[in-house]
Amino acid sequence: MSCTTILIGKSATYDGSTIIARNDDSGHGKYDPKRFIAVNPENQPRHYRSVLSHVEMDLPDDPCRYSIAPNALNNRGVLAEAGINVRNVAMTATETIAVNERVLAADPMVELEPASGDAQSADYVPERPGGIGEEDFITLVLPYVSTAREAVLRLGGLLERYGTYEANGIGISDVNEVWYVETIGGHHWIAKRVPDDCYAAIPNQLGLDDFDIEDALGGRHRDQQQVEQQQRDQRQHMCSADLDTWIQAHHLDRSMDKSPEHRRHLNPRRMFGTATAKDHIYNTPRAWYMQRYLNPSHDWDSSQARYTPISEDIPWCRRPENAISIGDIDFLMSSHYEDTPYDVYGSRGTEESRHRYRPIGINRNGHLGILQIRPYEPPANSAVIWLSFGSNPFTSVAPFYANVRTTPEYLSETTGEVTTDSWYWTNRIIAAIADPHFVENGNAIEHFRENILSYGDRLLVQTDVISRHDEHVPDILEQSNETMADYLRSQTNELLAQVLYTSSNLMRNSFTMSDR
């Protein structure tokens, strides 16, 4: 699916948290309802079968509890999308990316091949399952890991064994580290740790632009007794076991640099990725805008600017000029090129320029999950999922504790029925009514966002204080989530009323003379 991801190391955030965040966008012409649920160990499958690819496998019998933001309808599988487990490991999966034709020739995708022929005849060919993908990653990894590194290695092992049918980027974090994994072809993968003082801004494009294969392969050990050595060697990079020999065998490295040092600075984006006219419309402008916002002192707009919306070499990660807050992330993931000629709701530029590039905040946003692991709170209450449903420019993220056994019905009971009893559908209605009159409804939406963010911050502080001195932490966190959901519902209904009133007055068939 089309998405936008931002990953933030702990020294680059406002409070020392690790944060991974991602919009999940439905495909063109589809709107996938979203919900927020807790998966308790007894509800985790012991035998798994993918809906999309029909791949099957047995799963370990010792899963831990985790909270996720999956699709409400099961027509394409769980699609957990974003989640945090009780051990405070977070995953967001996945950022759909693209690899080039040379990669696909060297390691084709593992796609479902339906059965053919009559089952009773000699020419019958049974079905061949596909690999794993976005539908599966979080369900297969998150309940079984205790650190981000463990999650990277478990995911990598599954990719090598079962393969994948799509190219994807996966964000993984714990309280200490943030990692980004990219799948390369059907069975290969690379992973890089986000530096503590940096953020990574990622559209639907293979992003990694500097990779140390010596570091990645130096600690490739399967023996559990060698974990310490593995972590020393794989300080910042990990990859599939045969990546080096595979690259050489298929002549994938086109760099003219033949020096030994080149192996410590491979460019995966150039080696494996794409650089097309479509990328200049759909992908590079989003990376440009996120970095423009977080590093505003650079020249982004003049004719001499180093990076433009169509630059193919925008750095994968960068050190921000100021520590990044939840509000910054919410703004960026809702953005539509504000203060530029490319803003679809703006007055600068031309009609053509205002529709030139794909915004981050679009009609097909399904949910935004900002996954925060806070180092200053006890492990029992340190994990928070900041969630919003629907088109991001018309709503706000709200905080919910992840270490819970149940979640509020306002978020968990989403179905295919359009109803204001569901936060997802209420936000979808608000966006559709407000969009034609964005400027006129802007103040109400901005006020709503301020209310939700400020109330959420206060509620977290109050709940944190209580939970530090009470042994029934999950009970306290669940009650806090219910309180947040109640406030969210009241504020969302109020916003709906305001937007409905304003937009009703601006209908094209309006007439001001009333009957006596």
CATH number for the domain harbouring residue 172 = 3.60.60.10
**Residue 295 lies inside a defined structural domain of this protein:** yes
Contact 367, 24 (CB under 8 A): yes
Q: At 239, list the tokens.
A: 């990859």
- 484: tokens are 């947040």
Q: How far apart are CA 437 and CA 440, in angstroms?
A: 5
- Extract the tokens encoding 262: 């080149």
Domain that holds residue 135: 3-210+267-408
What does the pLDDT read at residue 178?
98
Any domain includes 501: no
Give the per-residue pLDDT at 1.
65
* Cβ contact 429:394 at 8 Å: no
pLDDT at res. 512: 81
Q: What is the pLDDT of residue 224?
A: 44
Mean pLDDT, rounded, of the chain:
94
Quick one: pLDDT at residue 30? Answer: 85
Rounded Cα distance, 142 and 90, in Å: 8
Please indicate, yes or no, if residue 23 is contained in any of the structural domains: yes
Q: What's the DSSP call for residue 435? A: G
Q: In this predicted model, what pLDDT tens digit does every residue of 129-149 receive, in sequence order?
A: 999 999 999 999 999 999 999
Q: Distance between CA atoms of 504 and 487, rounded to whole angstroms?
A: 26
Sign of the CA dihedral 377, 175, 372, 46? negative
Q: Which residue has the tokens 């807050």?
A: 325
- Count the domains in the chain: 1
| 514 Cβ contact partners less than 8 Å away, ≥ 6 residues apart | none
Residue 81 has a pLDDT of 94
Determine which helix (DSSP H) or strand (DSSP E) holds 158, and give its type and residue range.
helix 148-162
pLDDT for res 227 = 47
What's the pLDDT score for residue 119? 82
pLDDT at 465: 96
The tokens for 444 are: 């109400």
Q: Distance (Å, rounded) from C-alpha 488 to C-alpha 494?
A: 10
**Residue (of 38, 35, 44, 45) closest to 73 by Cα position:** 35
Q: Which of 33, 37, 30 is nearest to 74 (CA)?
A: 33
Q: Which pLDDT value is given to residue 300?
A: 98
Report the C-alpha gap between 414 and 422 in whole angstroms: 6
Residue 285 forms part of a structural domain: yes
Q: Which residue has the tokens 């807790």?
A: 38
143 DSSP assignment:
G
pLDDT at 222: 42
Inter-residue contact 366 to 34 (CB < 8 Å): yes
Catalytic residue among 3, 198, 239, 317: 3
Separation of alpha carbons 212 and 417, rounded Å: 49
Name which of 22, 40, 18 is nearest 478 in CA terms.
40
Residues of the chain with pLDDT under 70: 1, 219-234, 515-516
Q: With contact defined as beta carbons under 8 Å apart, do 237 and 149 qualify?
A: no
**pLDDT value, residue 233:** 60
> Hey, CA dihedral for 459, 462, 468, 469, is it positive or negative?
negative
Stretch (H or E) spanning 105? helix 101-106
Q: What is the pLDDT of residues 431-449, one digit of tens each?
A: 999 999 999 999 999 999 9
Which tens digits make up the pLDDT trace of 212-258?
A: 999 999 854 444 444 444 444 668 999 999 999 999 999 999 999 98
Q: E strand or H helix at 365, and its extent? A: strand 365-373
pLDDT digits (tens, 9 = 90+) for 490-500: 999 999 999 99
Q: Cα separations (Å) of 309 from 283, 284, 288, 335, 394? A: 9, 6, 5, 15, 25
Question: Would you say 407 and 399 are in contact if contact means Cβ atoms under 8 Å apart?
Answer: no
- Based on the residue annotation, tell me whether 239 is a catalytic residue of this protein: no
The H-or-E segment that residue 192 falls in is: strand 188-193
Bridge partners of 83, per DSSP, are: 68, 91
- Number of Cβ within 10 Å of residue 221's Cβ equals 15
Instruction: State the Cα–Cα distance between residues 142 and 41, nearest whole angstrom.
Output: 12
